[in-house]
Structure formats: C-alpha cells, structure tokens
Structure 1
Amino acid sequence: MRKILFASGDVSRVRLVSTVGMESETVFALDMLGRAGRTPFAEWHKKVHAELGSRAQTLKTLVKALRPTSALLSFRERPTQMHEEPLEAAGIGLAEAQAAIEEFREVAVRPTWMSIRRHLEGERSARGRILATGGVDRLLATLHSRVRWDSKSLQLQGCDGEDVRLDGRGLALAPSFFLHDRDPVLVWECGQPTLVFPALPDPAGTGGEQVKRGERALIALVGRTRAEVMRALTAKSTTGQLAGRLGVSPAGASQHTGVLRQAGLITTERSRNTVLHALTPLGHALLGEV
C-alpha cells in the first residue's frame, strides 16, 4: 500500500482536472486491449482488434514486457535501458515499440478523443459538485473504493512505491476513461503528483463512438485536431499543456493555435514567461452548438 501524506495546508491545494492527456490514456487503453472484450469496452475491443489485425499481438506482448503500468507510462515519457532490456527479451526493439504505440493511439484513442474528453469533463463536473457541497474531505473519501482518506493521508491500496509527501506541492485528481475497473494510479505532471482514478463508464459506448452531428460539423469546419484544441481550451492552457493533452508536438500545437487565433476562435496572451490560450466568445458559442 502506498500513501500520499498531507501536511498543514496541503488539503487546500487539492484540485480537479479533467484528464492527464491523450498519451496517458493511450497507455491505459493498451492495458485494456490485453483483457478480454469486457463491457463496456466490448465493441471498442472488437473494432480495434479488427483494425490492428496481427499487430495487436505485438502490443499485448509489449504491455506484458513493460509491467506494471507505471513502467509503460515512464517508457512513453522517456525510454531508457530499464525498458530496453525487457522489450528485447520479448523480441521487440525500442523503435518498433514506440511506432506500435503511436499507431495504436491513432487507431484506438484519437478518433473518439473529443467525446472521451467530454465524458471526462462531465466526471470532473460531478466530482466538483461533491467538492462544492461536501468539501475536500468528502471528495477524497468518495474518490474510489481502493482509496482511504484519514484526514492526514490518502492510502492507495494495490499501489506500490514509496510514500509521497506533498510538502506544499498540492495534489491533482484526474479521471481516466480507460482505467476502468483498475486501481488508481499516481503519476507526475510538471512536477506535481496527480492521482488518476477510473471514471464511471460511458453508457453511450466507448467515447461516444456515434459522434454527434454538431461535432461532425465542427470537425468539418476547423479539422479534427483543431476541434480537439478548442475542446481542450474550455480552461486556459499553455502550448505545452495543449501538446500533452492532444498527443502532438509543441510546434504542432502552436501551429493549430495560430490558425484558430486568426479565425477569431481563441485568444493568446502572455503572462510573464508563460503564453496562455483561451476560447473567445465566438469559440465558446461554436462549441455550444456541439
């Protein structure tokens, strides 16, 4: 069991975010791929297997080689010799593993990312209401059946590793779409500990595979990736944050924000050394039609 230890004032620094981004969700989806097509992911499982064909087996072998999930997450962030050795033992090279995961992301996650984000934003809103009415204690006490809160620490059952002292850094809480039926996972985002917990299943199907008509119109108007940028900017974000959430390079994210800014759909402002992007009223109105 792993603990997150709170000092005086740390409780006030707990915050909710809607997602840790497409790259992390891709890792959780990889783990889901290796399990039998369990509901509510049976249709997604079948579709992804059909598109990947025999390449799905390579991905399953890769996931087994890089267990636990924390190892796969660290591999996506920065491959090292620690990852290379088990992959080579499984007959998979580093470049092959990276290419396979990127293909999987494009097949299994990106096509419905906008709908997945919408579902996660709904989960964040629901948790936000718990926070507003019951405070942080109520939020942490109802986070997950495998998480225990005792006013000084969060006890993560089934989570290995050293205890984490917040020491004023704060704690972010993020729902995950593909972490379904799994224990919460502790990750680090920009130096801050983030506890990722499974969101409630989407009753409409994995990520809402039947994209709404308005969403199709938005994609036709600005393109899929720029539509995803607009979705991500329901809260102000830096270029780096956008890149992480969308699974694109910072240069790619900057290019898309430039086009959206020229179209009057977003604004960009500098705050000291940070550039922040936000939706304009027109951008909000356009998203409101989706």
Structure 2
Amino acid sequence: MLRIHFTGLDLARVRIAARPDALWESVLSFHRLRDKQGAAVYGQWRGETRARLNGETRLLATLVPSRGYFPDFLTPPEGVLGLEPAIEALRETPVRRLQRDLSLLGTLRSRPGWGDSLADGDSTALGRLIGALRSYHRAAVAPYWPHIRARIEADRAARGRALLDGGADQLLASLPTTMRWRPPVLEADYPVDRDLYLGGRGLLLQPSFFCRRTPVTYHDRDLTPVLVYPVQHTAELGPAVPLNATDADVNSLGKLVGHTRSAVLQTIGNGCTTSELARRVGVSAASASQHASVLREAGLVVTLRHGNAVLHTLTPLGAALLRGGAAAVPDLPELSNAAATARADEVPAAPATTGTGR
C-alpha cells in the first residue's frame, strides 16, 4: 500500500494536470503492450501498435521491465508540455541522476550492456534511447492522442467539479476506488509498501489513459510529487452501443434528441468548454456551439463564461434526462476513426498484487 501524507499546505497545493503527459503515457502503454489484461480497452490497440513497431521494444524492455521499478528520469515533468519538451528535458538529465537511477535498476536486474555508457551521459547512448522513445511514441501513442486527451479532459472536468463542490477534501475523495482519502492520508493500492510525505510541496494529480488499476508515483521522494492514476473507461460508465448500430439498436435518448445531440448531452455531463465538446464529440466548433444552444434553449444546459472560453454544464432537468437514458448512450464518435482504441474497459476487478511499484 502507498500512503501519501498531507499537511494543510499540501492540501492547498493539490492540482490536476492540464493535459496528458507524453512520456508517462508512453512508458505506461509499454506495460499495457506486454500484459494481457484489459483486452476490451487495449486489445485492438495492442494489435495495431505491434504491427507498427520495428524493434523499439527490445531496447525499451531493458529499462522498463514488465513490473517493478523503472528509472524516474524517463518521465520528466515536461511531459505535460508534449513529447519534444519532454525529450529535451530527458536529454538534459544530469549525469549524477542517470547514474543513480540506473544503479538502482542494476541492483534489481541485469543492466543492459550499453547501460554503462548511458549512465556516463554518453551522447550516443542517450541518442539511441531518445530515438527509441520517439519511434515508440509515434507507433503506440500519437495515433490515439485525440482519444487519450478526450478521456483525460473528461476526468479533469469531473475532478474539477469535485474541487468546486467541496474543495481539496472532496477532490481527493472523488479519486478512483483503488485510492481512499482518510484525512490526512491518501491510501492507494500499490505493489509495495511505502510512505510518501509531501512536506508542503503539494501533489500533482495526473490522470492517465494507459495507467491501469493501481496508481504510479516517482521512486525518488525528493522529486516533485506526482500521482499518476487511471481514468475511467466506458464500461464503468455503462454499456456502450456498437459504432455500427442500426436504428433498432439506439437508446430512447438518442431517438428523442438525435444521436449526435445525445452524445453532446452526455459529454456536457461533467462540464466542458465548446472546443472540448467539439473535440470529444467529433464535430466542428460551430456545430458544437449550435447543439449546445439548442439544448440551452430547451432548459437542459446552462452556459457560463470561464476566462476566455464558455463552460457548458447540465441543468437539473438535463441531468435527470441524461440519467433516464444513460444506460445505452452511444459511445462518442471520437472512436469512429481507424486510430480508435477499444470501446469499453473490463469491469473493475480486485487490485493486482504486482505492478509498477516505483
């Protein structure tokens, strides 16, 4: 079990990542590529990704084992800014840190032959690693980025609403069931037993598409604290309708307001801006705005200005209508392209006894 100890200052410094982290998603997806769990979500993705890979896994497997420790330097904080900023940060990793992380990796398993050169900061070895990461990201993560981003934005909206409703206390209590907020400690199912004292530094909550069941954090307690946790997938929210469903397959809500508009209503369920709505539903910004206007005029949606954007949320009537038809709302059209991942996750199961274990 992981126990994260908060002070009052830490609660004031809890924040939610604004977007997916390119390298956390890459490294965690490499775990998903090799395990056989979560086939409903990751099965199609595994097949498509393996067909695009060209030897990158052999190099990465030496640094990212199927379970247990992998070096902290592989996931720098700049990952939330995109792949290239993350790669540049990785390239600038101090030699002392490379040596420390790879030394720890070496105490647990046999280190790759080129590991000594990498630990010394050799530019050729580091370039080889960066090339493998770039190539792997291009094959395994980049084609699915819009879907990954949409899922994380939806999770962020849910956490943000919890924060607005009840502060940091309710935010932490709203996290997935593998984590339990027992003030002042956040407990999480974890492959190893450890305590993390935040000491006033706060905590970055990083939702992840490829994180599964148990959260992940840095091994080095001196690094800026981050907790990477899994987002919910479709099956946890209700059964999905196949994308090739006929008129006889769709639900009553779709028949009432139209299939696209029912998807719009479902997407607005946790609150979103017009641009987020357009991206998640797979329509233009103008179309998203028009659908939201119709729903607003019907008393189902309320729109408020939020900075330079507008935020759409459900009225009580809209929420009641959505609950009445939520069991079979069609999955969002974002999954309709060839790069879509799977349509539903497995039903949540008991926490695994092995895992990343940082």
Q: Which of 106, 131, 136 is the aligned partner of 1:99?
A: 131
Structure 1 Cα separation of the partners of residues 166 and 41 of structure 2: 30
Cα pair 1:18 1:175 within 8 Å, conserved: no
Alignment-mate amino acid for residue 83 of structure 1: L
Shifted more, 114-123 versus 11-20: the winner is 11-20
Structure 2 Cα separation of the partners of residues 41 and 48 of structure 1: 10
SS in 2 for 1:39: helix
Structure 2 Cα separation of the partners of residues 18 and 142 of structure 1: 17
SS in 1 for 2:190: coil
Structure 2 Cα separation of the partners of residues 23 and 167 of structure 1: 26
Q: Which of 216, 220, 240 is the aligned partner of 1:185?
A: 216
Is 1:148–2:183 an aligned residue pair? no
For structure 2, the residue ranges without an aligned partner over 5 or more in a row are: 76-89, 119-124, 243-279, 286-306, 310-333, 335-358
Deviation at 1:159, TM superposition (A): 5.2
Structure 1 Cα separation of the partners of residues 163 and 195 of structure 2: 25
Structure 2 Cα separation of the partners of residues 175 and 107 of structure 1: 21
Cα pair 1:75 1:83 within 8 Å, conserved: no
1:140–1:159 distance in 2 versus 1, CA, 3 Å: farther
1:41–1:154 distance in 2 versus 1, CA, 3 Å: same
1:9–1:48 distance in 2 versus 1, CA, 3 Å: same
Deviation at 1:20, TM superposition (A): 5.4
SS in 2 for 1:174: strand
1:23–1:158 distance in 2 versus 1, CA, 3 Å: same
Alignment-mate amino acid for residue 24 of structure 1: W
Tell me the residue number matched to 1:130. 162
1:58–1:193 distance in 2 versus 1, CA, 3 Å: closer
Structure 2 Cα separation of the partners of residues 202 and 109 of structure 1: 19
Q: Which has the larger radius of gyration?
A: 2
Deviation at 1:49, TM superposition (A): 0.4
* TM-score normalised according to structure 2 size: 0.49
1:146–1:56 distance in 2 versus 1, CA, 3 Å: same
Cα pair 2:2 2:194 within 8 Å, conserved: yes
Residues 151-175 of structure 1 deviation map (CA, whole Å, 9 limit, x = unaligned)? 1111223154752222322222121
Tell me the residue number matched to 1:24. 24
Structure 1 Cα separation of the partners of residues 221 and 137 of structure 2: 20
Q: Would you say how many aligned residue pairs link Structure 1 and Structure 2?
A: 212
Q: How does 1:51-200 map to 2 (within 5 A)?
A: 51-52=52-53, 55-56=56-57, 59-60=60-61, 62-64=63-65, 67-69=67-69, 71-76=70-75, 77=90, 78=93, 79-80=98-99, 82-83=101-102, 86=106, 89=111, 94=118, 95=125, 96-158=128-190, 160=192, 162-179=194-211, 181-187=212-218, 192-200=224-232
Alignment-mate amino acid for residue 132 of structure 1: L
SS in 1 for 2:65: helix
1:30–1:73 distance in 2 versus 1, CA, 3 Å: farther
SS in 2 for 1:114: helix
Structure 2 Cα separation of the partners of residues 141 and 161 of structure 1: 21
Deviation at 1:176, TM superposition (A): 0.5
Structure 2 Cα separation of the partners of residues 166 and 280 of structure 1: 34
Deviation at 1:186, TM superposition (A): 2.0
